Amino acid sequence: MRRMAVDEVVSMLPSWRPGAALEELAAFLSDSESLAPADRVAVFDNDGTLWCEKPAYFQLAFFRRELEAAVMARPQLAERPEYRALLGHDNAALAELGLPRIALALADLCAGLTAEEFSYRSARFLLEEQHPTLGRPFAQAVYQPMLELLAALRVHGFATFIVTGGGTEFVRAVSEQLYGVPPEGVVGTLIEYEYLALDGNPELRRTGNVSGGANEGPAKVVNIQQHLGRRPVFAAGNSAGDREMIEWALATSGPSLGMLIDHDDAGREFAYESVAVTFDSAERIVDVGRREGWTIVSMLNDWSDVFPTRLVVE
Amino acid sequence: MRRMAVDEVVSMLPSWRPGAALEELAAFLSDSESLAPADRVAVFDNDGTLWCEKPAYFQLAFFRRELEAAVMARPQLAERPEYRALLGHDNAALAELGLPRIALALADLCAGLTAEEFSYRSARFLLEEQHPTLGRPFAQAVYQPMLELLAALRVHGFATFIVTGGGTEFVRAVSEQLYGVPPEGVVGTLIEYEYLALDGNPELRRTGNVSGGANEGPAKVVNIQQHLGRRPVFAAGNSAGDREMIEWALATSGPSLGMLIDHDDAGREFAYESVAVTFDSAERIVDVGRREGWTIVSMLNDWSDVFPTRLVVE
């Protein structure tokens, strides 16, 4: 294969402005051509890395919509504390209950659904519902520069995977359509299924149990090995929960790149920080990344467009 | 896409003799062209379906070899009952201890290894060690007609996956090389990993724990959904542990095929039966399959060649 010149690589990334991030990316893509095909593995976080995660996780907005519908049919549901806090948009109560407990309560809400039913509802929500502030459907609130990066990696022979703290099945519902990543390429937080065979008709139904805990932090590294059996040399994330995955991708002697998206663009998206907390320190993940030599991407400075100007899905 | 004629399909399967199995297969492949691309999903059991499983599972032979090497360094290992039975080829003791306990003891043997180390040892064993009776390395004891079928399915746009009761990582070590299935396409019985970060060096090491139990029976259906997020319309197996997976593939209104390999060829391979046991019955899986309309493949009658005549790997 002819080695691609750096300016050819740059031409595949039109929404990236000239600067250190683009230079590091182009150099990595060019260098990656020395890697064996099987070693060209790239992993991406999803919430805040491929699609927006504010003002709330899209999955939380989806579950709130499901909850509103369920309560119409069964009003007594609204008495459960987690559901009452969600329906009332009571952020103080939600913070006190904590995301894990909220997540489990919401998993209960969809228990009994088949994979197909859950996938259909998730896809319909993401494709049809409007994001509350961005003036576009949730599915259009994906980052155009990252779509270009996914494509450029594939042109360079990379297998591209999504490694998300979000629900595996929620992301799978649109991963092929939005990102060109098939269902088996999505590794996330996973609900357990129950296999039933009633009257000889096999069925697979969601339970309310999470299989193996949330896919965050060190669990992302473990699950990359368990589900994909591959070792990445490229990892992109935006929060403290992506730290170990990025460090894992960089722990190689060959070409590698760890990328952190810095949400510093209050005008076009949202401005917020993620803090990495250990037993004796609290440090902004951006500062961790700078110290460890990651490629820090400023949404404000490095991206000429944030969202697709044309619809990516119809 | 031009619909492929049945005789064109047959030409892709030269090691299959004319007969009902080949006709059903060719009709299915031809019919499958009406399926949406995302629905073209095929799953294969491995032991006894893609490669030979006699006189013992290849993985058991691998572990015995690892055990022999470990005992040279640490003779006291031989005192553990499971290891003593294995080293002494004491089949009565092995049967009494049971495969699950043997499997856990063998998982302990490789605890502490990295994924790369385990993969390297597995691949070297399969590619270099001779099968005890077939006069070829283990990696050459794969079924030539099934390799042709994998290729024909891919030509028809199928994604092909391996869903094995064997160790995920053992099969992944050679799945791309032998079957053209990348590591993330292998769903099996999975060892848990431990993530360590000592002095800033991230490491992933095998534990002795099995994650979520053996991948057999109904677990195969659950794990197909959890790991692949796809629903198969083609499933091939050879034992009672494949029954639910085959029934799952057939539970669709569109084109589908469930295939059972019947090991009835004592001359070229091995002749043996698998029995499906429920709370009130015991029935040969071949009879279950006949009753349920599966495609039964007689190795003796339906295959002109069993093993590759040319080396499939070097």
Query: What is the H or E stretch that residue B97 is in?
Result: helix B91-97
Q: What is the pLDDT of residue A198?
A: 81
pLDDT digits (tens, 9 = 90+) for A187-244: 999 999 999 998 779 999 999 999 888 999 999 999 999 999 999 999 999 999 999 9
Could you give the CA distance from residue B207 to residue B186 in angstroms, rounded to a whole number? 20
Could you give the CA distance from residue B212 to residue B210 in angstroms, rounded to a whole number? 6
Q: Cβ atoms within 10 A of the Cβ of A278, count?
A: 8
Among candidates B38, B182, B190 on the partner chain, residue whose Cβ is nearest the Cβ of A226? B190
Assign domain B6-56+132-302 to its CATH architecture. Answer: 3-Layer(aba) Sandwich (3.40)
ipTM of the complex: 0.94
> Residue B105: which residues within 8 A CB-CB, separation 6 or more?
B80, B82, B83
Q: What is the pLDDT of residue B7?
A: 84
Chain B residue with CA closest to A170: the answer is B229
Flag if A197 and B247 touch (Cβ within 8 Å): yes
Q: In the structure, what pLDDT confidence band is assigned to residue B276 with cuts at 50, 70 and 90?
A: confident
Per residue, the 3-state secondary structure of A166-186, as one string, reads EEHHHHHHHHHHHHCCCHHHE
Q: In the structure, what pLDDT confidence band is assigned to residue B198 with cuts at 50, 70 and 90?
A: confident
Q: In the structure, what pLDDT confidence band is assigned to residue B189 with cuts at 50, 70 and 90?
A: very high
User: Can you tell me the mean pLDDT for B1-6?
Assistant: 67
Query: In degrees rounded to 5, what are phi and psi of residue A53?
Result: -125, 10
Q: Which of B184, B279, B292 to mutate to test the interface with A (most CBs of A within 10 A)?
A: B184
Residue range(s) occupied by CATH 3.40.50.1000 in chain B:
6-56+132-302
Q: What is the pLDDT of residue B3?
A: 67
Could you give the CA distance from residue B165 to residue B224 in angstroms, rounded to a whole number? 12
Query: Measured in Å, how far apart are chain B's first and last C-alpha atoms?
Result: 35
User: Can you tell me the mean pLDDT for B249-270?
Assistant: 97
Share of chain B above pLDDT 70, in %: 97
Q: What is the pLDDT of residue A2?
A: 59
**Where are any strands of DSSP class E within A3-134?**
41-44
pLDDT digits (tens, 9 = 90+) for A68-119: 999 999 999 999 999 999 999 898 999 999 888 888 898 999 999 999 999 9
Strands A201-211 and A186-198 come out as antiparallel
pLDDT digits (tens, 9 = 90+) for B113-124: 999 999 999 999
Closest CA to B68 of B60, A293, B21, B29: B60
Is the minimum CB–CB distance between B208 and chain A shorter than 8 Å? no
Strands A257-262 and A234-237 come out as parallel
Q: What is the pLDDT of residue A311?
A: 63
Query: What is the H or E stretch that residue B24 is in?
Result: helix B20-31
Is the minimum CB–CB distance between B169 and chain A shorter than 8 Å? yes
Is the minimum CB–CB distance between A279 and chain B shorter than 8 Å? no
Yes or no: say if A44 and A150 are a contact pair by the CB < 8 Å rule.
yes
Yes or no: say if B177 and B160 are a contact pair by the CB < 8 Å rule.
no
User: Can you tell me the mean pLDDT for B47-53?
Assistant: 98
Closest CA to A36 of A230, A210, A309: A230
Burial B117-138 (b: 16+ CB within 10 A, else e): ebbebbbebbbeeebeebeebb
pLDDT digits (tens, 9 = 90+) for A116-150: 999 999 999 999 999 999 999 999 999 999 999 99
Chain B residues inside the 8 Å CB shell of A231: 115-116
pLDDT digits (tens, 9 = 90+) for A255-269: 999 999 999 999 999
Q: What is the pLDDT of residue A7?
A: 84
Is the minimum CB–CB distance between A244 and chain B shorter than 8 Å? yes
Distance from A43 to chain B by nearest Cα, in Å? Answer: 13
Flag if B169 and A247 touch (Cβ within 8 Å): no
Q: What is the pLDDT of residue B5?
A: 75
Q: Which of B120, B170, B209, B225 to mutate to test the interface with A (most CBs of A within 10 A)?
A: B225
Q: What is the pLDDT of residue B225?
A: 97
Could you give the CA distance from residue A258 to residue B202 in angstroms, rounded to a whole number? 14
Residue range(s) occupied by CATH 3.40.50.1000 in chain A:
6-55+136-302
Flag if B244 and A201 touch (Cβ within 8 Å): no
Flag if B229 and A183 touch (Cβ within 8 Å): yes
pLDDT digits (tens, 9 = 90+) for B78-105: 999 999 999 998 989 999 998 888 888 9
Residue-averaged pLDDT of chain B? 94
Could you give the CA distance from residue A281 to residue A246 in angstroms, rounded to a whole number? 19
Q: In the structure, what pLDDT confidence band is assigned to residue A26 with cuts at 50, 70 and 90?
A: very high
Flag if B184 and A222 touch (Cβ within 8 Å): no
Yes or no: say if A103 and A56 are a contact pair by the CB < 8 Å rule.
no
Q: What is the CATH code of the structural domain delimited by A6-55+136-302?
A: 3.40.50.1000
Local structure of residue A95 (DSSP, 8 states): H
Q: Which of A184, A192, A216, A227 to mutate to test the interface with B (most CBs of B within 10 A)?
A: A184
Chain B residue with CA closest to A171: the answer is B229
Distance from B191 to chain A by nearest Cα, in Å? Answer: 8
Cross-strand partners of A303: A16
Local structure of residue B89 (DSSP, 8 states): T
